[in-house]
């Protein structure tokens, strides 16, 4: 692991707890918090930080939000549907506040950053709005609001920057796999995307900080990390030390004992040969790449400001498969982007046929505030985009099922994550290619890699038998 001063991470954790542990309350009964997360894995990670900070302040997590003293809602505005869910959930909390006026309701995440004080104005029962960079200071900000008894919005332009660190040392991370944010923000400005507006410009965390967090996660039993960033391929820019994302991966492999490493998300234009080679050379790096293509038409890609052509994307896919033939590829597609013609959509379908993705996340385009595409006038009729989406998803389901069926009879290494969701005595884990496999094995195999022969395959999972001996 990284070289540290005597006491290293442990002392840092103690110092951090000293700083964080000014009591919020003095009653014997622990105060309870409830966290609800909408949206992406970055939000899941931020929610984890919130949980850790509140736990360090003596709060206990509760599943029943009606019992909570603090409710934290982590919001997502990437898609219109997710934002609508946030508004309706926030509205539904009014009755809880009326029943318990001491309840503190906090909105964090992208909708909070985007709407700021407007959210406070719209929901009178909301106590705090915390922007995307302020979430790392949630404990301190909650104390501030509890003391003042008022309501407040903490956003980027209010000077709250958040450290991106200093909170992760506090509580053990349960589970076999853990998310780990290595960078925030994005510099790409795709025409449909709200992320640069709400998460700001790219900021990478220092490698030492990432390695320390991995050491702590490993100490609490984590075997696999999922490195997160809006565009991990451009990790390191502006850090003041020369390190690429591939360089970071190599350091993590040589300085940690992790069984597996995954990452997401990658921008195709920044996928380098150096990174492709990591898949062939670094054993713990899972053979799975999520590489969002968004469309198969060059005209649409150009209007989206993606800065690659379909041909360039396909060329990278070919090169990657040459370097690492067993790699699984997944992607995102937006259907019905403004101006998308039937011919453009056919280009997307052709690309899907050519690549044969292992899995695809596809969505209908929706206007997002503060994005360029919102001003595009040639919107696609909703019925047409719904029909195109159904066609795309239908074909993709056939491809994905075919790929899973082809796995039958093969032997795969599965990292066991815990009991199967079906509660049938089986355990569940993932292959390096990110396929879910359920099979009979003792629960004590959790956290271990087990060789499994695949016996049955379905669209979203597979069943197998552990190879004994
Ligand atoms: S790369 Fe494009 S789609 Fe991805 S976060 Fe950045 S602006 Fe949004």
Residue 174: what pLDDT?
55
Residue 219: what pLDDT?
85
* Residue 328 pLDDT grade (very low, low, confident, very high; cuts 50, 70, 90): very high
Distance 48 CA to ligand 1 centre (A): 23
**Mean pLDDT value across residues 143-167:** 58
The finding on whether 35 has its CB within 6 A of some atom of ligand 1 is no
- Position 465 pLDDT exceeds 70: yes
pLDDT, tens digit (0-9, with 9 covering 90-100), for 349-386: 999 999 999 999 999 999 988 899 999 999 999 999 99
- Position 16 pLDDT exceeds 60: no
- Position 3 pLDDT exceeds 90: no
* Residue 152 pLDDT grade (very low, low, confident, very high; cuts 50, 70, 90): confident
**Mean pLDDT value across residues 228-246:** 91
Q: What's the CA gap between 391 and 164, in Å, rounded?
A: 42
Average model confidence (pLDDT) across the chain: 86
Burial zone of 151 (CB within 10 Å; 0-12 exposed, 13-18 middle, 19+ buried): middle
Report the atom number in ligand 1 closest to the C-alpha of 193. 8
Q: Which residue ranges make up each domain of the chain?
A: 8-158, 172-286, 319-406, 411-466
Q: Whose CA is nearest to atom 1 of ligand 1?
A: 188
Residue 4: what pLDDT?
36
**Mean pLDDT value across residues 340-353:** 98
**Mean pLDDT value across residues 397-401:** 97
Looking at per-residue pLDDT, the higher value among 366 and 162 belongs to 366
- Position 171 pLDDT exceeds 50: no
Q: Which residues contact 209 (CB under 8 A, 6 or more apart)?
A: 164, 165
Report the atom number in ligand 1 closest to the C-alpha of 267. 1
The closest of 366, 373, 378 to 77, measured between CA atoms, is 366
Report the atom number in ligand 1 closest to the C-alpha of 305. 2
In which residue are the tokens 């056919």 written? 346
- Position 39 pLDDT exceeds 80: no
The finding on whether 185 has its CB within 6 A of some atom of ligand 1 is no
The closest of 148, 96, 82, 86 to 122, measured between CA atoms, is 86
**Mean pLDDT value across residues 192-207:** 88
The finding on whether 232 has its CB within 6 A of some atom of ligand 1 is no
Q: What's the CA gap between 236 and 286, in Å, rounded?
A: 21
Distance of CA 347 to the CA centre of its chain: 29
The closest of 425, 426, 469 to 451, measured between CA atoms, is 469
Q: Which of 133-137, 180-184, 352-356, 361-365 has the lowest mean pLDDT?
A: 133-137
Distance 41 CA to ligand 1 centre (A): 14
The finding on whether 196 has its CB within 6 A of some atom of ligand 1 is yes
Distance 326 CA to ligand 1 centre (A): 27
The finding on whether 81 has its CB within 6 A of some atom of ligand 1 is no
**Mean pLDDT value across residues 191-202:** 87
The finding on whether 195 has its CB within 6 A of some atom of ligand 1 is yes
Report the atom number in ligand 1 closest to the C-alpha of 231. 1
Q: Whose CA is nearest to atom 8 of ligand 1?
A: 193
Same fold, 8-158 and 172-286: no
Report the atom number in ligand 1 closest to the C-alpha of 189. 7
Q: What percent of the chain has pLDDT over 70?
A: 89
Q: Whose CA is nearest to atom 4 of ligand 1?
A: 230
Looking at per-residue pLDDT, the higher value among 427 and 109 belongs to 427
- C-alpha distances in Å from residue 406, one per residue of 331, 394, 399, 400, 450: 20, 19, 11, 10, 20
Q: Which residues contact 318 (CB under 8 A, 6 or more apart)?
A: none
Instruction: Out of 189, 230, 371, give the residue to mutate to test ligand 1, the one with the largest number of ligand atoms within 8 Å of its CB.
Output: 230
Distance 40 CA to ligand 1 centre (A): 13
Query: Quick one: fold of 172-286?
Result: Transcription Regulator spoIIAA (3.30.750)
- Position 212 pLDDT exceeds 60: yes
The hierarchical CATH code for the domain 411-466 is: 2.40.50.140
Q: What percent of the chain has pLDDT over 90?
A: 60
The finding on whether 188 has its CB within 6 A of some atom of ligand 1 is yes
pLDDT, tens digit (0-9, with 9 covering 90-100), for 451-464: 999 999 999 999 99
The closest of 276, 226, 214, 223 to 251, measured between CA atoms, is 214
We find that the CATH architecture of domain 8-158 is 3-Layer(aba) Sandwich (3.40)
Report the atom number in ligand 1 closest to the C-alpha of 196. 7
pLDDT, tens digit (0-9, with 9 covering 90-100), for 280-308: 999 999 999 999 999 999 999 999 999 99
Residue 184: what pLDDT?
86
Other C-beta atoms closer than 10 Å to the C-beta of 364 total 17
> Which stretches within 57-154 are classed as H helix?
80-92, 94-99, 110-115, 117-122, 138-148
Q: Which tokens is 61 given?
A: 């997590």
The finding on whether 229 has its CB within 6 A of some atom of ligand 1 is no
β-partners of residue 104 are 70
- Position 260 pLDDT exceeds 90: yes
The finding on whether 190 has its CB within 6 A of some atom of ligand 1 is yes
* Residue 197 pLDDT grade (very low, low, confident, very high; cuts 50, 70, 90): confident
* Residue 156 pLDDT grade (very low, low, confident, very high; cuts 50, 70, 90): low
Residue 441: what pLDDT?
95
The hierarchical CATH code for the domain 319-406 is: 3.30.750.200
Instruction: Out of 194, 196, 234, 333, give the residue to mutate to test ligand 1, the one with the largest number of ligand atoms within 8 Å of its CB.
Output: 196
């Amino acid at each position: 692991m990284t070289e540290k001063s005597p006491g290293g991470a442990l002392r840092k954790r103690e110092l951090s707890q000293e700083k964080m542990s000014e009591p919020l309350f003095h009653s014997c009964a622990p105060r309870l918090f409830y966290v609800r997360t909408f949206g992406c894995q970055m939000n899941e990670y931020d929610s984890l930080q919130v949980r850790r900070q509140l736990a360090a302040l003596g709060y206990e997590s509760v599943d029943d939000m009606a019992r909570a003293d603090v409710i934290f809602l982590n919001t997502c505005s990437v898609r219109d549907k997710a934002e609508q869910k946030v508004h309706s959930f926030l509205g539904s909390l009014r009755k809880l506040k009326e029943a318990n006026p001491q309840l503190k309701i906090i909105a964090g995440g992208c909708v909070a950053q985007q709407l700021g004080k407007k959210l406070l104005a719209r929901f009178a029962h909301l106590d705090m709005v915390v922007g995307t960079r302020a979430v790392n200071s949630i404990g301190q900000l909650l104390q501030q609001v509890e003391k003042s008894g008022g309501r407040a919005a903490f956003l980027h332009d209010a000077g709250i920057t958040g450290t991106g660190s200093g909170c992760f040392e506090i509580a053990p991370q349960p589970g076999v796999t853990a998310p780990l944010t290595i960078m925030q923000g994005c510099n790409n400005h795709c025409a449909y995307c709200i992320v640069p507006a709400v998460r700001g410009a790219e900021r990478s965390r220092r490698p030492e900080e990432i390695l320390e967090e991995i050491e702590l996660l490993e100490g609490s039993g984590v075997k696999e990390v999922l490195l997160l960033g809006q565009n991990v391929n451009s990790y390191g820019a502006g850090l003041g030390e020369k390190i690429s994302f591939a360089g970071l991966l190599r350091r993590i492999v040589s300085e940690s004992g992790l069984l597996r490493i995954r990452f997401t998300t990658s921008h195709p234009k920044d996928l380098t040969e150096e990174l492709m080679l990591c898949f062939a050379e670094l054993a713990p790096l899972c053979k799975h790449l999520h590489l969002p293509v968004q469309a198969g038409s060059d005209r649409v890609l150009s209007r989206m400001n993606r800065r690659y052509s379909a041909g360039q994307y396909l060329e990278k896919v070919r090169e990657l498969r040459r370097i690492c033939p067993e790699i699984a590829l997944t992607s995102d597609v937006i259907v019905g982007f403004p101006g998308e013609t039937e011919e453009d959509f056919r280009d997307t379908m052709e690309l899907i046929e050519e690549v044969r993705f292992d899995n695809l996340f596809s969505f209908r385009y929706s206007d997002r505030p503060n994005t360029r595409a919102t001003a595009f006038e040639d919107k696609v009729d909703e019925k047409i985009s719904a029909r195109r989406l159904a066609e795309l998803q239908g074909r993709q389901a056939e491809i994905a099922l075919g790929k899973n069926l082809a796995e039958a009879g093969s032997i795969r290494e599965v990292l066991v994550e815990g009991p199967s969701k079906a509660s049938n005595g089986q355990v569940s884990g993932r292959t390096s290619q990110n396929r879910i496999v359920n099979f009979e094995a003792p629960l004590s195999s959790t956290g271990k890699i087990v060789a499994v022969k695949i016996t049955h395959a379905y669209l979203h999972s597979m069943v197998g038998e552990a190879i004994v001996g």
